[in-house]
Amino acid sequence: MDLVFTPLLEACKPFRILEIGSGQGQLTRQLVTYCRTHQSPQYPVHLDVVDQPYQYDVDWVKRQYARWASFHQQASVDFLPEMAYAPDMVFLHGDMNWYTVFHELTHLQTLSRRYRRPMPVTVVMHVGWPYGRRDNYKAPEKIPSMFRHPYKRRGIKVGQRALSDDPRQGLMGESLNAAEPYGPRNGVLTAVEDFLKTSPDSMELVRIEGHQGLALLVHPQWVDTLPALATLLEAFRLSPVMMQTMQALERDRLRLAEALVSMQHQARTREAEQLLGLTNTGYPSALMANSIVLAPDELDIHVT
């Protein structure tokens, strides 16, 4: 997504950037680089990163990048109300469920109004398949039960509503995924749409296909004051035909990814059988794979 993020940063020229969710740190490194290379005595550029828990050694990263970035180990919905400033730009790719995303956007709007600023230019990731219309839970116990869908630790298959019955099949099989897609308060894109319905500001929504989808939320004041941003948004808009083409390419990419996951599971199963001396013993391969790969709690369905 560097073809999107780099020109977007250059068009917006933000001074205060907020990243919600850091993953393995790929985007974080890009944002730190932007801050480091765009410093000036009059206008310091700074990044705040919020995640819990981090997937890397955040203490080491803090020491390396303290001049340009601050790292906060806190849930986003707890951190946002306490912020002492309104950011210019936000990259949102933390918890991929309706409750978290809707409330993150609501907190950002409240924060902006408190400091009499327009809502920040906000990049929301994972608005495409599979989490645009299906919740994913990193910590389901932190989601109020009335907003939490039944979920399983099972993979998601392209073109199939139900989660895979076989834990070795489908994408994101190690994650806690809502048992069914669609419906009210389900998924990242649904959260974005519901937020826009309740927002008093007439913000623009621009969707970008590929890599599970992006949504850009842009307050009209930014478009009016940043001509480069207005030009870039126009370039991002696709005709209906091009949108369908991009969606088809994304489906093909996801099918290939799904096939790769299946092959990786098969390879691990063969390796496990060889290590345990079980090859050609007469045991069904699939049965042995289940006994090796699955933990008992992975078969449970959680219903609220």
Q: Give me the mean pLDDT over the 241-252 stretch.
A: 79
For residue 265, the model assigns a pLDDT of 74
Give the separation between CA 127 and CA 192, rounded to whole angstroms: 8
Report the candidate in 253, 256, 252, 259 with the shortest Cα–Cα distance to residue 168. Answer: 259
Q: Which residue has the higher pLDDT, 295 or 230?
A: 230
Q: Give me the mean pLDDT over the 174-196 stretch.
A: 97
Cβ 122 vs Cβ 93: under 8 Å: no
Is residue 118 predicted with pLDDT exceeding 60?
A: yes
Give pLDDT tens digits for 61-94: 999 999 999 999 999 999 999 999 999 999 999 9
Cβ 73 vs Cβ 52: under 8 Å: yes
3-state secondary structure of 204: strand
For residue 278, the model assigns a pLDDT of 59
Give pLDDT tens digits for 261-299: 878 877 877 777 778 775 554 444 443 333 333 333 333
Per-residue pLDDT band for 188 (boundaries 50, 70, 90) equals very high
3-state secondary structure of 23: coil
For residue 221, the model assigns a pLDDT of 97
What sign does the CA torsion over 272, 273, 275, 278 have?
positive
Is residue 140 predicted with pLDDT exceeding 70?
A: yes
Structural domains of the chain, with CATH: 2-149+186-237 (3.40.50.150)
For 266, residues 6+ apart whose C-beta sits below 8 A from its C-beta are 168
Per-residue pLDDT band for 1 (boundaries 50, 70, 90) equals low
Where does the chain have alpha helices with state H?
2-12, 26-37, 58-65, 76-79, 98-114, 188-198, 220-225, 227-236, 240-275, 285-293
For residue 169, the model assigns a pLDDT of 86
Is residue 204 predicted with pLDDT exceeding 90?
A: yes
